[in-house]
Structure 1
Amino acid sequence: MAKGKPGQGEQPIIVIRKKKGHAHGHHGGSWKVALADFMTAMMAFFLLLWLLETATPKELQAIAGYFQAPASRHVLGPGGADAAAIELKAPMEENPQMVTDQSSPLDSAGILGDTPDNMDEESRREEAALAEVERQQLEALEEQLRDEVNNTASALNVLKDQIRMELTELGLSIQIIDKERRNMFDEGSAILKPYSEDALYALAPIINKVPNSISIVGHTDAKPYSAGSRYTNWELSTDRANSARRALLEGLYPEQKVVAVQGMAAIAPLVPEKPLDPSNRRIAIIVLKKAVEEAMRKVDPTVGQHLLPSKPRVMSELEIEQAIERERANAPRSK
């Protein structure tokens, strides 16, 4: 404590505190915020790259379609839901050219490259193109058959009102149905009537113009055989289908193109409300699509292997010699 002069009172001590400044104080902590934003952006960027790498071509098309037409009614679903992300259908409806002849923008830019999914997509396109060619061939065959049916000089013209044709999921279905007082077979018989046989002869070379194979199915009405009979509509429908097969082969249809011959009795009537209607009795010849034919021909080679007798094991020379020695040792000795 400072002392004053003699005779004067003591002076108070005054302490002055100086505030020390900081260098670059005007920056504060804003650099930390900038760094955090930068790291978040980088994380989002790498997450985006990862998602693009794992996305399928279909999903990429959906994403591209969204950005090409974000306000499309096909893209935004009810309540603002993104139909493109949920169903993956809207962008392809909006941009159908992307499905047929244009790859996704990212893939065309070389970012994704050739992934297994892309190869699968190419295979699907090839299958679709082949299916379209096959469909056109079957349609042309149907048109040719209709012309033949309407040709008064053709044997098929006799059954003009009894032949039905349509393209189905299995292929081109050609059904020859019975009509009142004009049946393909006599009642309970599997022998073709002459005009039915002639119609099948005329049909054979026409359906042979396409490479597709056929299946033949016989159908009957619901009229049962007498009680206790061992011969039923199942046997009858199968025998009738086989008669149709033989007629087609006599008409020079290749036997190796017949995939199946079967009878379905009355379980698939053409007129369900009238189980005894004559039109329920019919022969269906189906010109099969290739995919259906392949599925029908596919057989698992391992099925029934356990039922086959096992092959005898071949004994080695040493085992044969040992067996002979044992036989000699066990043989009874003569007295």
Structure 2
Amino acid sequence: MAGDSKKLQPIIVKKIKKGGHGHHGGAWKIAYADFVTAMMAFFLLMWLLGSTTEGDKKGIADYFNSPLKIAMFGGSGSGDSSSIIKGGGADLSRSGGQVKQGEIEAKKRTINLQALKEEQKRAEMAKLKAIKEKVEEVLASNPKLAALKSQIRLDMTADGLRIQIVDELNRAMFDSGSAVVQPHMRELLREIGSVLAEVPNRLTLEGHTDAQPFAAGERGYSNWELSSDRANASRRELVAGGMPDDHVLRVQGLASSQLIEPANPASPANRRISIIVMNREAEDRILRPGAPSEPEPAEQPALVDHKVVEPVSTFVPPAR
């Protein structure tokens, strides 16, 4: 019986309630997030108002007052203000005031273009100097051409690198009154042509003679034709040395219009061939003669007008 009484005893469950604050759920988190979002929107609005020009503000106000009129005809203040207000700008720490964004960008573009042009000139000058050094190196490495060093003059001009090959009394480039290239001159021109083959710049070839005229030069074959023929013969030797033919932009004969030694018009030094590796400005001046160009530096003397005559190959000039 004792075992049965234990089985029939009731089970009593006690629930103990603890004191303290009740559970309120997560509603406070949503409220806090809304507050933070509202504050962020407020400060964003303040920043936008501070970085907007007075004209833009007026344009926005005009749009909401009469949106159809502004959309169709535009209006003053719709992004076209040039007024200046204190502070503001893209950065609130700026004190330069508000200006039109288009004006800022245009000014930056102008400055950048000028800087880019100057950088291009410096790079082009460095490239021409490298060509000059390369020609000097080729001449120094060839014993045959090293003997011609006194006849070769390299200098930088307003148009680019100028390579001049001048006559000497005992070592002429051409026979007197002839445009046939001498063997040593042919080798020199071909070596120069191999160097210029690697250069993208365009060339001008100029032929010069001394001031001694032909017997019947006024009506027949004269120094103008002779200088043109010699320049063109030099072009053929440069091409034979590997230089592309389309690198030559201009071949011209100047006769005795530009003497190296004006005091001695009959000097052999006046008989010469000039190879000008042109810079971009000189190329544009020839290819686009009507386009505006920058004035040349004051220290550069103005070139005199010269006559260009097509080569004449049907007449054999008399010996001089």
Same fold (TM over 0.5): yes
Q: Deviations over 1:216-256 (max 9, x none)?
A: 00000000000355101000000000000011111111011
CA shift in 2, pair 1:160/1:115, >3 Å = same
Q: Do the aligned residues in 2 keep the contact of 1:171 with 1:286 (CA within 8 Å)?
A: yes
CA shift in 2, pair 1:206/1:121, >3 Å = same
Aligned residues: 196
Q: How far, CA to CA, are the matches of 1:277 and 1:292 in structure 2? A: 30
Counterpart of 1:309? none
- Measured after TM superposition, the shift of residue 205 of structure 1 is 1.3
Counterpart of 1:143? 133
Q: How far, CA to CA, are the matches of 2:238 and 2:142 in structure 1? A: 21
What is the SS of the residue equivalent to 1:286? Answer: strand
What is the SS of the residue equivalent to 2:148? Answer: helix
**TM-score, length-scaled by structure 1:** 0.55
- Measured after TM superposition, the shift of residue 138 of structure 1 is 0.6
Q: Which amino acid aligns with 2:118?
A: A
CA shift in 2, pair 1:110/1:194, >3 Å = farther
CA shift in 2, pair 1:178/1:126, >3 Å = same
- Measured after TM superposition, the shift of residue 299 of structure 1 is 6.2
Percentage of pairs with the same residue: 34
Q: How far, CA to CA, are the matches of 1:214 and 1:238 in structure 2? A: 15
Q: How far, CA to CA, are the matches of 1:107 and 1:207 in structure 2? A: 55
- Measured after TM superposition, the shift of residue 208 of structure 1 is 2.3
| RMSD of equivalent CA atoms | 2.3
Counterpart of 1:256? 246
- Determine which of 158, 166, 170 is the counterpart of 2:159: 170
Q: How far, CA to CA, are the matches of 1:135 and 1:192 in structure 2? A: 31
CA shift in 2, pair 1:115/1:278, >3 Å = same
Counterpart of 1:279? 269
Unaligned runs of 5+ in 2: 1-81, 84-93, 291-320
- Determine which of 164, 187, 190 is the counterpart of 1:198: 187
CA shift in 2, pair 1:110/1:159, >3 Å = farther
Q: How far, CA to CA, are the matches of 1:295 and 1:107 in structure 2? A: 45
The correspondence of residues 303-314 of structure 1 with structure 2, limited to 5 A, is: none
The correspondence of residues 108-187 of structure 1 with structure 2, limited to 5 A, is: 111=99, 113=101, 114-153=104-143, 155-187=144-176
Q: Deviations over 1:284-330 (max 9, x none)?
A: 00000012112212267xxxxxxxxxxxxxxxxxxxxxxxxxxxxxx
Q: How far, CA to CA, are the matches of 1:289 and 1:112 in structure 2? A: 38
Q: Deviations over 1:147-171 (max 9, x none)?
A: 2222244x53231110000011000
Q: Do the aligned residues in 2 keep the contact of 1:220 with 1:265 (CA within 8 Å)?
A: yes
Q: Which amino acid aligns with 1:211?
A: P
Q: How far, CA to CA, are the matches of 2:249 and 2:95 in structure 1? A: 43
**TM-score, length-scaled by structure 2:** 0.57
Q: How far, CA to CA, are the matches of 1:187 and 1:167 in structure 2? A: 30
The answer to whether the aligner puts 1:244 opposite 2:220 as a matched pair is no
Structure holding more helix per residue: 1
Q: Deviations over 1:91-130 (max 9, x none)?
A: xxxxxxxxxxxxxxx9988746425344222211111111
CA shift in 2, pair 1:247/1:263, >3 Å = same
Unaligned runs of 5+ in 1: 1-52, 55-105, 301-335
Give the structure, 1 or 2, with the largest relative contact order (CA under 8 Å, sep 6 or more).
Answer: 2
Q: Do the aligned residues in 1 keep the contact of 2:180 with 2:230 (CA within 8 Å)?
A: yes
Runs of 4+ in 1 over 6 A off after TM superposition: 106-110
Q: Deviations over 1:157-188 (max 9, x none)?
A: 23111000001100000000000111100010
CA shift in 2, pair 1:248/1:108, >3 Å = farther
